[in-house]
Structure 1
């Protein structure tokens, strides 16, 4: 029986089961995944570890344990996973023949928080294992639970970085650890873990979001990505690829990592992947060492024993590369003849195929057929030439499918929401529009209508502005900015991808450099005008606009511009109030690139697009949201905007989260976020929402949260 939500509300969004990418077995018959579910009744999260039968699409529970994560296969029957406890981590082995029964055993108990587990069957029958964990300056495993606590909380720094994303940096750094599993009497044991980076200035995975994509292992050793230790990480994006040759994964003293040279490319390095033969490595690297969103160029190291000869795919004389899209994740075909990569195109994240040799890649990659939506993860399916794909869409929060590149087919295996039906959502509510931008180019936007849409009625406009700014709205699921939440309140939601957006070629993306409030703003004006002229079912006189990060900046910029007077209400989440103060961010290479210089070197470039210069025109009601652990855009940016609005007498509201970063991730906080946002925009757009706030004795309390009205 399929349960269906009567209305897709924030509670439904946040309590819906969330599935991890599924990991298929070597023979392609089964897949392992986890499902986490938050309950607003118990205020707790439960986690299930499940096994999927790929042929039937049916799954069953293996365990229910909140501490379990990261399943990996050892063979078609046996698998490993991690279980955390008290600052430590157990590596546990089990099999499908008797899961959770007599076979279940600890392979090792590690006195540290371990993650990003990878394994590789070796020719001698042993299993190579690699993972990441924090290391002390001495190269030992770090466990905060057992660390001696200082008497003072003071921190002293003498160089950049001092903090990153949501944490103040310490002397401990992430490292890659390796070891070998041996099987005896039916049980596995771990030889121990060795720090592959000990004695170096290198660290991996690269924070704050680095993971298994930052390293890979093969019979010959491991490759990994690290920040270049010779440049300042706050000023430069430069990360390098290194190789550690290993005769055995039991080596207690690994050789010094060897730099893999990539002449002409000095930016981020990403997604190194060994070929199945273990002799080649494919990876990506950017050119610009101060541009975090530069195009990754696809590279091949054809012989791991000669790290000086890296080949470029689609090489051009100017060094830009002829393929205009941005390759990210990489998978080798079974016979190593083909590479599959993901790259965005026009609001979708797609899979592409190309020959694995740059010399044979004379044509640009071919897009592989996948199910509707955006791909978040993909892997080889057994020995066949098929791919097992994890994706989502605007109406479906998780879909497992099988793609056959040779026959150009894609078949759904399992949809977590029955392709939207569980949420009462339908693909018929989704649409795309294209309109003329500020220059000689077209701009794309995604459209989502209410599920009870009637073309003869008029609906208020919900105008969503994405962050980045080098990012894009995708036909994919989100628990933070989900267009369906707004559509089901009774809005037509339009999510434009203006200048600066990824997935439309580098000319459009790079057009935002030095133009933060210029071309992107004019594109948004053109989009608003297009809606009014070509979408008769939209009532633009009842419009609201919302944005986060760069989208929050644009909300504040719009406030001081003519477009700001066309909205009934604005919502700014973790946005920028004053451009010159962007030097309080953690990654200084970001403003240096986007505003074309340092603050003292190009002050005029910073001030040109500064929203604070136009506060005299601020007049539209605005909800300001900010979090105190946001070190990319510190909380003072939100406080400044709110203070200006209040001083000017503009109806405004401030929502602050002391325990969140650039994103609101905790379910109870997210529920308050949604209620505040919907309550605010619905009031000014005249939309009847089901949430009603009631004031008593000068303050409001909802789920233990204090509200302080004027």
Structure 2
């Protein structure tokens, strides 16, 4: 009898367990799938794309991250445009970039810069190998130039340089490669004092001893060229020999800063070779004869940024980007034209009250396409050489668009398209109608079944009668009239001159914030491009003025909505957005219940004495605080540290040790002030990160701490 009861009991328990499993499965099936920090790192990231010369094939790269490995891998794909079929040319390389076609028709070859990479076990074995290095070492453990036969998939390693290469550009004739490589020109302390090999110090004689996130390494990045014979590159020639300057210009310059002439005889490049580098934005466009090495500065009398030269397909013109005002890194970006035969120069975008970002020639050399900030988006425009100052808008909608290349007939173009909901995808754009067809589907699997946020555009009244453009992100399932009240975040943009466009950020991601249950308002306050030059310029010299009023106006307008919980509002931001948070801590009244500042400016005086690119603070703050009583007064008026006595809002400070633009001591000062004043506060410190958080696991940690802090006060 007992045995029968035991068996019956086991059967009953099994049935109950199956019922529970079925119920959990049913509940799981009905659960809403929304974006999470972990899911964010599963998204494939479109890298580069290049169109074959005949317009039939599109090659592009995608990088994916493995969170457990804390690193990413890159793959190279080839798509046939007629049917969209895609095949993988390279899979899971450590890096793949600088992809480009050379040649015509079936003989076209795809070149790229890449590094295969090895798994940890292989790396370990190599480290234990005491044998001498093979004379024929291919140095494939550093980025090299490669070519690939897209039909057979056969790989050829073109270069074999010990330290590898960067920014590969193959000449249109296929006879040479251009690339950049670091050249050591300065001596270390141990080289100056050879009898002190264990001395650990630096002798510093100028202010550019560190930049952005790295200390000066006694090297300069130089442009090189090498001939190709039988598919292999020969010895490289330094086109900048002896010059203590860099091409590309750090910290953000890339391969766009130099280009080959169509005949392969000349290279136009960008160089910032100036005294007091830290106080100047005077970069210039140079040309160099590849064979003779003869150089010429084309923009020596122009005091602002001149960069990114691009030859017209017919070789008649050289176009480049230019900013007119010296020392202003966010001046209007113009397109300048040089007729190569005569040397005459003129502005193509004369009279346009907007930026012209990027230069893409049409195949007939008669027009240039460019991207421009426009009402919270990046749109594509085109302008004809015979109609300077007259633009035509090609794209529209709530997206950020950027041109990749034109098809041979010039009627269509390959472009990238993104918004706040989804990251970049490749699209085929009809240049005349503006219609497009999405070509790549990198993240369709991730978004399948994903309930997404809603993004809306709205304008609110500013205190001076102007209208402030705002983006508002609403949580998945949000309804304005269901009586539910939501917590809200006011996003404070950095820059201070950088539009809140339809970008998909992997840090300040409005889709992710909304998916965590927050309404997000992101105002394009005074100082941001896309709304005319005056709006953009109004931030300079007025950091704590109208821009802060604009943010508070946007906050108040949203708090007046019946679906916002007025007692659950926070403010967040990075860089100048972090400055904004610190400013609002002392000047925002009682609107905010919690604050988060990432790499924010806290003390204007100590910031001036510890940052690196002084042209930025010289322009925006008027110069050093000791320059005049008037400037000192402005520092005192707008420095957040002077208002710490008003602090009471809980504050999360985030900062990276290797942030040299806004040094980590700014965050430390703010955290100390909060702690001494008994303000609830936490400091999230990253010893190996700079102004941005780039490691995958650090990125997820950032979001976990970020949302945990918000939830303490807002949920």
Partner of 1:313: 348
Partner of 1:232: 276
Measured against aligned partners, the alpha-carbon deviations of 1:447-496 in whole angstroms (never above 9, x if no partner) come to 11112212222211111111000112111111111011110011111111
Cα offset, 1:592, TM superposition: 0.8
Q: Does 1:155 align with 2:174?
A: no
1:207 equivalent among 250, 254, 271: 250
Tell me, what secondary structure is at the counterpart of 1:329? strand
Tell me, what secondary structure is at the counterpart of 1:415? coil
Partner of 1:283: 320
2 CA distance for matches of 1:506 and 1:273? 26
Partner of 1:221: 266
Partner of 2:217: 170
2:439 equivalent among 387, 403, 413: 413
1 CA distance for matches of 2:143 and 2:442? 29
Partner of 1:465: 492
Partner of 2:412: 386
Which segments of 5 or more consecutive residues in structure 2 lack a partner in the other structure? 1-30, 116-138, 188-195
Measured against aligned partners, the alpha-carbon deviations of 1:219-262 in whole angstroms (never above 9, x if no partner) come to 23011111133x3111111111111133xxxx3x511x211036
Normalised to the residue count of structure 2, the TM-score between the two structures is: 0.86
Tell me, what secondary structure is at the counterpart of 1:178? strand
2 CA distance for matches of 1:156 and 1:421? 53
Is the helix fraction higher in 1 or 2? 2
Partner of 1:10: 37
2:111 equivalent among 69, 73, 80: 80
Cα offset, 1:60, TM superposition: 2.4
Normalised to the residue count of structure 1, the TM-score between the two structures is: 0.87
1 CA distance for matches of 2:451 and 2:527? 30
Relative distance call for 1:16 and 1:421 in structure 2 (3 A) is closer
1 CA distance for matches of 2:54 and 2:397? 23
2 CA distance for matches of 1:53 and 1:371? 27
Partner of 1:28: 55
Which stretch shows the higher mean deviation, 662-671 or 9-18? Answer: 9-18
Tell me, what secondary structure is at the counterpart of 1:179? strand
2 CA distance for matches of 1:283 and 1:383? 24
Relative distance call for 1:637 and 1:96 in structure 2 (3 A) is same
Whether the 8 Å CA contact 2:379–2:402 is kept in 1: the answer is no
Partner of 1:575: 600
Cα offset, 1:86, TM superposition: 7.0
Q: Does 1:134 align with 2:182?
A: yes
Measured against aligned partners, the alpha-carbon deviations of 1:528-561 in whole angstroms (never above 9, x if no partner) come to 121133x332223211110000000000000001
Q: Does 1:254 align with 2:308?
A: no
Partner of 2:336: 299
2 CA distance for matches of 1:116 and 1:239? 19
2:530 equivalent among 503, 506, 513: 503
Whether the 8 Å CA contact 1:398–1:415 is kept in 2: the answer is no
1:552 equivalent among 578, 583, 597: 578
Which stretch shows the higher mean deviation, 415-424 or 199-208? Answer: 415-424
Q: Does 1:454 align with 2:489?
A: no
Partner of 2:702: 673
Whether the 8 Å CA contact 1:371–1:411 is kept in 2: the answer is no
1:271 equivalent among 305, 308, 321: 308
1 CA distance for matches of 2:96 and 2:490? 37
Whether the 8 Å CA contact 1:373–1:475 is kept in 2: the answer is yes
Measured against aligned partners, the alpha-carbon deviations of 1:369-420 in whole angstroms (never above 9, x if no partner) come to 2674112452222344321002221111121111122233222222333398
Relative distance call for 1:161 and 1:96 in structure 2 (3 A) is same
Q: How does 1:631-646 map to 2 (within 5 A)?
A: 631-646=660-675
2 CA distance for matches of 1:526 and 1:59? 49
Which segments of 5 or more consecutive residues in structure 1 lack a partner in the other structure? 140-148, 316-321, 687-710
Higher Cα radius of gyration: 2
Superposition CA RMSD, Å: 2.2
Cα offset, 1:297, TM superposition: 1.8
Tell me, what secondary structure is at the counterpart of 1:520? helix
Whether the 8 Å CA contact 1:216–1:274 is kept in 2: the answer is yes
Q: Does 1:650 align with 2:650?
A: no
Partner of 1:702: none
Q: Does 1:98 align with 2:152?
A: yes
Relative distance call for 1:504 and 1:67 in structure 2 (3 A) is same
Relative distance call for 1:494 and 1:114 in structure 2 (3 A) is same
Whether the 8 Å CA contact 2:72–2:94 is kept in 1: the answer is no
Partner of 1:536: 562
Cα offset, 1:638, TM superposition: 0.5
1 CA distance for matches of 2:448 and 2:342? 53
Cα offset, 1:112, TM superposition: 2.0
Tell me, what secondary structure is at the counterpart of 1:110? coil
Measured against aligned partners, the alpha-carbon deviations of 1:162-218 in whole angstroms (never above 9, x if no partner) come to 110011113311111122334x4xxx1223321111133442100011101111111
2 CA distance for matches of 1:395 and 1:334? 33
Q: Does 1:197 align with 2:226?
A: no
Partner of 1:63: 90
Whether the 8 Å CA contact 1:396–1:416 is kept in 2: the answer is no
Which stretch shows the higher mean deviation, 43-52 or 647-656? Answer: 43-52
How many residue pairs end up in the alignment? 642
Tell me, what secondary structure is at the counterpart of 1:403? strand
Whether the 8 Å CA contact 2:220–2:244 is kept in 1: the answer is no
Cα offset, 1:334, TM superposition: 0.3
